[in-house]
Chains A and B, each alone.
Chain A
Amino acid sequence: MTSAWKAFGASVRGTSHICACLPNQDFFIIARHLWGDVIVASDGLGSRPTSEYGSKAACRAVVQAAWNWKNMKGDTERLLAQIHKNWLACVEPFEPQKSMATCLFAIRPAEGQIIFGMLGDGLAAVITTDGAYKELVDDKEDSFSNQTDALSEKTQTKHWRIASVAQHECCAVLLCTDGVADDLLAKKRGDFVRHIYEQGQQLASVTMARELRKMLEGWPVPKHSDDKTLVCLYRRENGK
């Protein structure tokens, strides 16, 4: 049975931004190359005036760093340092401290391990071929919903959470920003990710992106107001 890697994603403005005529602070990129795939999602911090640029810079920083991932020979510290360096360059001319943003990413090289990581809140999750669910999540053990780490001038590699999974064991990687992750019930996060992945098997990626957007726009949590972004890289069996 053949399979192919596909990706889809969507990002919608939160209701508070719509009401205030403010832009979406979230951003995501799906970058597909001969050497592999990269998905990134980022959430600009609400309290920072230019964080919408910070989130865009974060996504570009990861994609740029991923180009050289093969040559880094699995050195994740080097990758994370490069992402930070790229972000500081990409965010110019804005001040980094006024443009802070979270960062969630997954890099699937043509061969080898899929690496995924996050800085700040949100959810980075994996479904494996045996049906298991693995996640990186900011459980807010010692804080509250609107408090998070984020890319800044002082970011260090120790602030990141990072994990990897063998490519042949991975069915899907899903990243979502705080606007989605924070509303998911802790016990249902795995079921939610499976739901997205299983539905993703049915339709073309472009259709899935449209449906995903509809889901985020019709988010069922009362008084939800955050920007919402979800991006998924998944393996489709017999895919074209």
Chain B
Amino acid sequence: MSQMIFNPAAFVAPKAKPMPVILVLDNSGSMSGEKITSLNEAVRVMLETFKKAECDDAAFNLAIVTFGTGIHLLQPMTGVSQIHWQDIPISSIEACKRLTGTWDDAAARGTPLGATLRILKAMIEDKTVIPSRVYRPAIILVSDGHPTDKWSDSLAEFTQEGRSSKCDRWAMAIGRDADAGTLGKFIAGIKNEDGTPRKLLYANDAKTLKDNFSFITMSVTNSVATASQSKVLTVRPITVVPTCVNEGHDAPKLAQKPMTQQKAEEDDDGFW
């Protein structure tokens, strides 16, 4: 009598329900140096963490979109176990020159957030890329500059209409030049698992960038578990404390040395 009367195998999906994660990363020229090195390290660690989590009950799909002199789908939506990590390059000024035929300084330093959000929205609305049988996707936007194109309409469409508005959104401002106001609008209205408003994460140095990525990774991993558990899991980073903008989207109140009499190069002291 070990034979089962009901055999659902022929009627069900053959694959696990995944959690899609989309990294939207600024790789414009201003990200060069330690910023891009730290970002690459943080993303690599995130990928490894997702791979480890896949050994349990979770499944993760990851896509990476970069924006700088151009917008590139660096990594199409793929199961994390199939991704072989390669560092994200700084977007090529040479490529920009080839396209424009001139040295376009603005484009070379460009942060085309509006166009990026339009492309990202199209990607999310496309059910061949992100089908309905997935957990709520997590979109993680990381930038160190001000948008150089018209972004407000694109942002409004992204956050208020269609499937993109249902996504879980994160934003991280890198360095002092980041447009915290715009990034803050990207996460406006999003709540954490415990019901508190989502705060903008702020990375002022390599450590906080990695810590913030670890925090997001833990939150996303936990959210997969929470989706099928009866209690809200509060994310309590043990070794990781994210750096947030507490009120509004002003610059973070970090313990920093006074900057008044220092040159830009000198006042870095590990901060961007």
Contacts and interface: CB of A to CB of B under 8 A. Distances in A.
B11 A188 contact: yes
B136 interface: yes
Given A222-B15, A223-B16, A225-B57, A139 B227 contact: no
Given A22-B231, A225-B228, A212 B9 contact: no
27 contacts: A15-B57, A16-B225, A20-B225, A46-B229, A47-B227, A49-B231, A52-B230, A143-B132, A144-B132, A144-B136, A145-B132, A183-B12, A183-B17, A183-B133, A185-B12, A189-B11, A192-B8, A192-B12, A195-B7, A215-B5, A215-B8, A220-B9, A220-B12, A222-B16, A225-B57, A225-B228, A227-B228
A142 B166 contact: yes
> A interface, how many residues as a size bin?
35 or more
Contact of B135 (A48, A144, A211): A144
Given A22-B229, A146-B135, A203-B5, A223 B162 contact: no
A10 to B, nearest CB: 10
A221 interface: yes
A93 interface: no
A159 interface: no
Interface residues of B, number: 35
Secondary structure of the B side of the interface? loop
Contacts of B135: 144-146
**Chain A facing B: main interface SS:** loop
Interface of A: 14-17, 19-20, 22-23, 25, 44, 46-49, 51-52, 139-147, 179, 182-185, 188-189, 191-192, 195-196, 199, 202-203, 208, 211-212, 214-215, 218-227
B230 A212 contact: no
| Ranked 6 nearest A-B pairs via Cβ | A223-B16, A140-B132, A192-B11, A215-B6, A211-B5, A188-B11
A25 B226 CA distance: 13
A226 to B, nearest CB: 5
Contact of B57 (A141, A188, A199, A223): A223
B203 interface: no
Nearest to A51: B230
A14 B12 contact: no
Contact of A14 (B7, B14, B226, B228): B228
Interface in B142-197: 162-163, 166, 193
B6 A182 contact: no
A47 B193 contact: yes
B241 interface: no
B57 A215 contact: no
A47 B57 contact: no
B259 interface: no
A114 to B, nearest CB: 23
Given A203-B5, A215-B4, A221-B16, A188 B163 contact: no
Nearest to B9: A220
A221 B12 contact: yes
A44 B231 CA distance: 11
Interface string B121-149: 00000000000111111000000000000
Interface-central residue, A19, A23, A44, by most chain B CB under 10 Å: A19
Given A17-B230, A19-B57, A179-B228, 14 more contacts: A20-B229, A49-B231, A139-B132, A145-B134, A184-B13, A199-B5, A202-B5, A208-B5, A215-B8, A219-B12, A220-B9, A221-B17, A222-B15, A223-B17
B9 A46 contact: no
B13 A16 contact: no
B229 A184 contact: no
| Residue among B7, B15, B58, B230 with most chain A CB within 10 A | B230
B238 interface: no
A199 to B, nearest CB: 5
Contacts of B9: 220
Interface in B184-241: 193, 225-232
A196 B140 CA distance: 43
Contacts of B59: 222-223
Given A188-B11, A192-B8, A224-B16, A182 B133 contact: yes
A14 to B, nearest CB: 5
A20 B6 CA distance: 28
B10 interface: yes
A144 B231 contact: no
Contacts of B136: 144-147
Nearest to B54: A223
B8 A219 contact: yes
Most buried by B among A46, A144, A218: A144
Interface in B14-39: 14-17
